[in-house]
């Protein structure tokens, strides 16, 4: 028991150190942007209210765009820092990515229902979908930030937190715009069952993602989010991490899919796969990515080129978070 506790403590320290190192690298990488933002803010103020009003109609509302700070009443730079603190202190990066993903992945392009607008997972009808088990923890972590920044909608907060988490853990910059609104009751909730079912195969993945407007390449790119986090028996029934660095945005998920020999984990239900070390796992939908010829070609590309995957994931994730959001 002592050895187990000591190992857990050491692992926690190592993860925290790794996330702090990523934070330092991210801060250094964005220092130039911060300086440019400060200059833009000063210029905007000096130009007078008329110029700011004109710029507001022309500018995109992004966390790094100073005009959006005035128009939304939210200091996104400060909010980003608070989210990064949660990621570091609670090791919550993967969980926040999952919240943003599941908040958005209910979209149906035919009916125009679902998607990130509305933040309908706040209501028991959608929160109770089995695919969303455990996400009440993520929503609870963000609740103090909603109180601290009342000008931001829940829908913007959930998606922005996912963007911050991706970037903080080593991913590319994800294009994001504010402007989502919150639904007033659960009548806006999409039907349950629209999220991917991990027990299924390639045909199911296409049904789910084609419904949202994604193609095969984007499906495989988004599946790379499984390089983060782990499965918990109490939430999904599945158990274990996909990769050895569940807090790092890299292409290890694809490399493992291609290079490892995956076998069915014995005497375990639901069906999942294990690697030769028996420490890592893959879901049936993950294995479908290498058994389906169209999917496999992109798995191989991403396994060989991490930069390619990072770029494709950032673009596909940005597209996912925009689904169902009305824009003028």
Q: 303: how many CB neighbours lie within 10 A of its CB? A: 19
Burial class from Cβ neighbours inside 10 Å (0-12, 13-18, 19+) for residue 315 reads middle
Nearest alpha-carbon partner for 228 in 87, 118, 115: 87
Q: For 183-245, give the DSSP string.
A: -SSGGGPPPTT-S--TT--HHHHHHHHHHHT--HHHHHHHHGGGGS-EE-HHHHS--EESSS-
Distance CA 34, CA 12 (A): 31
- In the three-class reduction of DSSP (H, G, I as helix; E, B as strand; rest coil), residue 95 is classed as helix
Q: Which residues are catalytic?
A: 102, 242
Pick left, alpha or beta for residue 313 (phi over 0 → left; psi -120 to 50 → alpha; otherwise beta).
Answer: alpha
Question: In whole angstroms, how far apart are CA 39 and each of 16, 45, 80, 125, 250?
Answer: 33, 10, 19, 46, 33
Question: In whole angstroms, how far apart are CA 192 and each of 107, 126, 137, 188, 196?
Answer: 11, 6, 20, 12, 11
- In the three-class reduction of DSSP (H, G, I as helix; E, B as strand; rest coil), residue 13 is classed as helix
């Amino acid at each position: 028991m002592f050895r187990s506790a000591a190992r857990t403590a050491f692992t926690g320290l190592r993860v925290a150190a790794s996330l702090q190192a990523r934070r330092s690298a991210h801060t250094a990488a964005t220092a130039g942007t911060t300086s440019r933002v400060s200059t833009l803010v000063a210029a905007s103020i000096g130009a007078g209210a008329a110029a700011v009003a004109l710029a507001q109609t022309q500018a995109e509302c992004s966390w790094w765009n100073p005009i959006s700070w005035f128009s939304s009443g939210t200091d996104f730079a400060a909010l980003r820092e608070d989210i990064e603190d949660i990621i570091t202190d609670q090791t919550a990066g993967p969980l926040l990515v999952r919240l943003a993903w599941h908040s958005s992945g209910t979209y149906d392009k035919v009916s125009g229902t679902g998607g990130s607008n509305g933040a309908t997972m706040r209501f028991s009808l959608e929160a109770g979908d089995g695919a969303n088990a455990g996400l009440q923890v993520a929503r609870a972590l963000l609740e103090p930030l909603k109180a601290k920044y009342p000008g931001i909608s829940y829908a913007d907060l959930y998606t922005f937190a996912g963007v911050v988490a991706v970037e903080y853990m080593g991913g590319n910059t994800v294009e994001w715009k504010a402007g989502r609104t919150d639904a007033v009751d659960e009548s806006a909730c999409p039907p349950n069952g629209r999220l991917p079912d991990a027990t299924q195969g390639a045909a199911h993945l296409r049904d789910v993602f084609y419904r949202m407007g994604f193609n095969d390449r984007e499906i495989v790119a988004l599946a790379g989010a499984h390089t983060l986090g782990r499965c918990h028996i109490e939430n999904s029934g599945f158990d274990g991490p996909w990769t050895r660095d569940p807090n790092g945005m890299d292409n290890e998920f694809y490399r493992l899919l291609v290079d490892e020999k995956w076998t069915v984990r014995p005497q375990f239900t639901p069906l999942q796969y294990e690697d030769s070390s028996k420490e890592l796992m893959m879901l049936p939908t993950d294995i479908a990515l290498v058994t389906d010829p169209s999917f496999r070609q992109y798995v191989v590309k991403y396994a060989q080129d991490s930069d390619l995957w990072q770029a494709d994931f950032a673009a596909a994730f940005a597209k996912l978070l925009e689904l169902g959001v009305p824009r003028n």
